[in-house]
Chains A and B, each alone.
Chain A
Amino acid sequence: MNVAQPQALTFECETGNYHTFCPISCVAWLYQKIEDSFFLVIGTKTCGYFLQNAMGVMIFAEPRYAMAELEEGDISAQLNDYEELKRLCLQIKRDRNPSVIIWIGTCTTEIIKMDLEGIAPKLEAEIGIPIVVARANGLDYAFTQGEDTVLASMLTRCPDKAVETEKRKENAIQQLFNFGKKKEEIAAEESEYVKHPPLIIFGSLPDPVVTQLTLELKKQGIKVSGWLPSKRYTELPVIEEGYYAVGVNPFLSRTATAFMRRRKCKLITAPFPIGPDGTRAWIEKICSVFGIEPKGLKEREQQVWENLEDYIKLIRGKSVFFMGDNLLEISLARFLIRCGMSCPEIGIPYMDKRYQGAELAMLEQTCQEMGVPMPRIVEKPDNYNQLQRIYELQPDLVITGMAYANPLEARGINTKWSVEFTFAQIHGFTNARDVLELVTRPLRRNNSLKNLGWDKLVKEEAKV
């Protein structure tokens, strides 16, 4: 490959003509994460069609989400938004009785300027169910950023101490029921932790991963006071001024900002716990903020790397090209470069250099240590241009959306669907293998096919 080798990371910005999922897709994983929630997407048939098709079989499992499908009367304001939403939310209350209804604002509600934030508090008081508003629309955001808007809104609902004690009173019976047991447990647990200010982790992860990361920190004597989001809306963590917060995912910059500005928390900027290198750096950074000497992390990381060797063998020395669509790209590229890959280009929908600061520094350092050229980071990429670069560079692996995967495979280029990284468990030491399982799958598959002689399955296109 004849690519110039820049000494520092370069940032470019293209036209933004790229393929990604609409951010309303976040309801797919968030409704499963927050068990007592109901997501109401206020939009058109287009939004509904996307969700229906993107979520495939989940749609048939009586999901706790629905479309409030806008009709012509809603657009031209012949119908009253408040009354319409009230009617639907009462129906949801009756059928599902959720603890919270989350309204997802879409492009249409933006354009017709439906005042969701204004209507919600009034309706909330009237029907007695909290209503959280998140504007997860395609005008402003890409794919995973949808979760960011939901979490940023939900953050305002996290109790501070005062609310918490009041709630406790309401649940007096439940409290009594648990009291004896809890007291002992807490006493026993407290002794295992170092004394440090309360720490909140934000980012939606599957419960097993939450447990794994919590235990990982516990080994260092760090106590996790709460997660945003929690398993249930009614269990949102208490957040007081002066608490510390740390993110687990690279697309949560609005949530991070909200922690600092609205809740006066201190943000720990760390690389993200993706890959053993990222996980170690994440834990080390948290330890250093709390003045704790990390124990056994180096060995732990080393051990994980040894377990990955069979997969790393397959990708060492190969190149990977990220077309960019879910904002996990920087962290994944950093991990894969550490595995011995090179990476000419990292496409990414949106690059928050402050929130991802530590991750970017680690990427740069990793490139230097591994002796590979710095990738060009392309914000708001242009898929057409990227395809021309892919043809030219002929990377060993392209990580891309499903719109391009089959056509690239037909042209003999290995691809991995980027969406899978969003739904798979990829965080922490334990799941590093899962990331490589995904990354190496096309290479393993194509290894077994390689002698068949059918790499390119399209006829040469006529150049006009």
Chain B
Amino acid sequence: MKLAYWMYAGPAHIGTLRIASSFKNVHAIMHAPLGDDYFNVMRSMLERERNFTPVTASIVDRHVLARGSQERVVENITRKDKEEHPDLIVLTPTCTSSILQEDLHNFVERAQMEAKADVILADVNHYRVNELQAAERTLHQIVQFYIEKARKKGALPEGKTEKPSVNIIGISTLGFHNHHDCTELKRLMKDLGIEINQVIPEGASVHNLKTLPKAWFNLVPYRELGLMTARYLEQEFGMPYVDITPMGVVETARCIRKIQQIVNAQGTNVDYEDYINEQTLYVSQAAWFSRSIDCQNLTGKKAVVFGDNTHAAAMTKILSREMGIHVVWAGTYCKYDADWFQKQVSEYCDEVLVTDDHTEIGNAIARVEPAAIFGTQMERHIGKRLNIPCGVISAPIHIQNFPISYKPFMGYEGTNQIADLVYNSFTLGMEDHLLEIFGGHDTKEVVTKSISADSDLIWTKEAEAELNKIPGFVRGKVKRNTEKFARERKITQITIEVMYAAKESVGA
């Protein structure tokens, strides 16, 4: 058992549902107790979805425990088949069905005999995988199912499209800025003269999956979703894939060069260097921003980064490589894929942190006192408590992270958006600090803002007042140094004198 208040990645079935409900005309049936269909609320609220979420529950209740859920599940599948005529029904196990250990495979086979739709069982184990891994697995499973189905029927189309074309794999519902990223990627492909063969799973029809092999290559923009599918397609059809996330100026260029290499290897002769140059220097504002004096002021400022693999790695590189910001530590909650993260960021930050314990993150932020945080909603709240600005760069996210306006993180427009996000986070911090330097209106009594601060030291009123005069962003550090100094000398009461003695001794 684990005491937990907050989790970064959701349970496995959320991943499966995200894939199923991203496809068009695919219905998911959860084998779950009453109340587990909370996914529908999230999709309807966060994505502000106009349509009903194609997810229903086959309710597990006392009767099911007593008699097994076979009849109920089969009935619910065939009923949904008649009501909604989906192309595919995905039976989705939950934590409850994992322990019931019923033969869901058998139910699927029985239901398949009656249903017009295809029926599959999502092959995910609640206790072994999380949301992201389950999504990865389910997407692969659905693609494999339809490729094999077509192959059996001899309906797999032969050959490639006439012009260079791509499948974009991994755009899904409830993904962080996924819709905007998708639009930006399509635009980028158009600029490069590459046709979009398919985008999966978002908005895709399962009937078209058989045409996936017609594309020249696959693009997997997110580390967490789509790689397994891309590898499968590579293995089956020798399709190359690009797994460089086009986020940030340098990585976008790297991604484009890789695409160039791949399409040229298949017989075209394209040269994207001029395009990259034009975009980098004159169209996107990010490269110019990094040269401007605004950005100069950010040099050496401390930041920390935390999120999923894709976004945390990309942000770390952008901050460090493109803006000269000092990333003290970068972290990810994708523990299952930690090696990759380590390799990506280790040269761009002092320390790598891999954990899914939010208190550990909170303490690590309090310890280094960065000028800005780039993290998830949880880090935003930690930042609020510590008075440090935070830019949200990764799920888990709230409704405000599903903006209505166009805000991609990828491609050249993405670089502009990120520059704004970074710049705004830091200037907010600067304004705050200027206010305080010029007397401000800091009447707060609280001096302890660190998360675990059981201090045995007494500050006199005068010393406390003095401490409050120190600008917020270094106040914690001064406080800590003073207390350390006092402890070393067995001083229990901190006066103004002690404070300045401490300052002199450490030169702080």
Contacts and interface: CB of A to CB of B under 8 A. Distances in A.
Given A108-B96, A403-B41, A56 B398 contact: yes
B221 to A, nearest CB: 25
Interface string A405-447: 1110010000000000000000000000000000000000000
A139 interface: yes
A406 B45 contact: yes
A24 B34 CA distance: 11
Instruction: Identify which of A44, A69, A140, A403 gathers the most chain B CB atoms within 10 Å of its CB.
Output: A403
28 contacts: A16-B61, A20-B35, A22-B38, A45-B11, A46-B94, A49-B38, A52-B7, A60-B381, A67-B5, A68-B1, A69-B1, A69-B4, A87-B1, A107-B96, A111-B99, A139-B61, A140-B61, A142-B35, A384-B83, A401-B41, A402-B41, A403-B41, A403-B44, A403-B52, A406-B50, A410-B50, A458-B50, A464-B85
Contact of B36 (A46, A92, A405): A46
Given A49-B10, A111-B99, A142-B35, A71 B1 contact: yes
Contact of A68 (B2, B32, B35, B37): B2
A50 B41 CA distance: 10
B13 interface: yes
Interface residues of B, number: 53
B57 interface: yes
A49 B2 CA distance: 14
Nearest to A112: B99
A370 interface: no
B1 A84 contact: yes
Given A45-B10, A91-B3, A16 B34 contact: yes
A252 B365 CA distance: 45
Instruction: Identify which of A19, A46, A70, A407 gathers the most chain B CB atoms within 10 Å of its CB.
Output: A46
A168 B130 CA distance: 51
B127 interface: yes
Given A17-B56, A143-B35, 17 more contacts: A22-B34, A45-B7, A45-B11, A45-B130, A50-B38, A68-B1, A69-B4, A72-B127, A108-B95, A108-B96, A111-B96, A138-B33, A139-B61, A402-B41, A403-B37, A407-B49, A458-B51
A402 B1 contact: no
A56 B384 CA distance: 16
Contacts of A71: 1-2, 127
B61 A402 contact: no
Contacts of B378: 60
Nearest to A88: B3
A18 B49 CA distance: 19
B453 interface: no
Interface in B24-50: 32-38, 40-42, 44-45, 48-50
Contacts of B6: 52, 59
A79 interface: yes
Interface string A187-231: 000000000000000000000000000000000000000000000
A404 B53 CA distance: 9
Contacts of B94: 46
Contact of A403 (B2, B53, B95): B53
B41 A59 contact: no
A137 B130 CA distance: 22
Contact of A67 (B3, B37, B60, B127): B3
Given A21-B35, A49-B11, A139 B62 contact: yes
Given A16-B59, A22-B34, A143-B35, A79 B1 contact: yes
A54 B39 CA distance: 11
Contacts of A49: 7, 10-11, 14, 38
A67 B357 CA distance: 13
B13 to A, nearest CB: 7
Instruction: Identify which of B2, B13, B44 gathers the most chain A CB atoms within 10 Å of its CB.
Output: B2
Interface band, chain A: 35 or more
A343 B142 CA distance: 44
Instruction: Identify which of A91, A92, A111, A405 gathers the most chain B CB atoms within 10 Å of its CB.
Output: A111
B4 A66 contact: yes
A53 B94 CA distance: 17
B254 interface: no
B126 interface: yes
Contacts of A16: 34, 59, 61
B35 A50 contact: yes
B51 A46 contact: no
Nearest to B125: A72
Give the 8 A-B residue pairs with the shortest CB-CB distance, closest first: A22-B35, A138-B33, A403-B40, A410-B50, A45-B11, A60-B381, A44-B95, A84-B1
B62 A410 contact: no
Contacts of B65: 110-111, 139
Contacts of A111: 65, 96, 99-100
B97 to A, nearest CB: 10
B383 to A, nearest CB: 11
A360 interface: no
Nearest to A408: B52
Contacts of B34: 16, 18, 20, 22, 138-139, 141-142
Contact of A137 (B13, B33, B95): B33
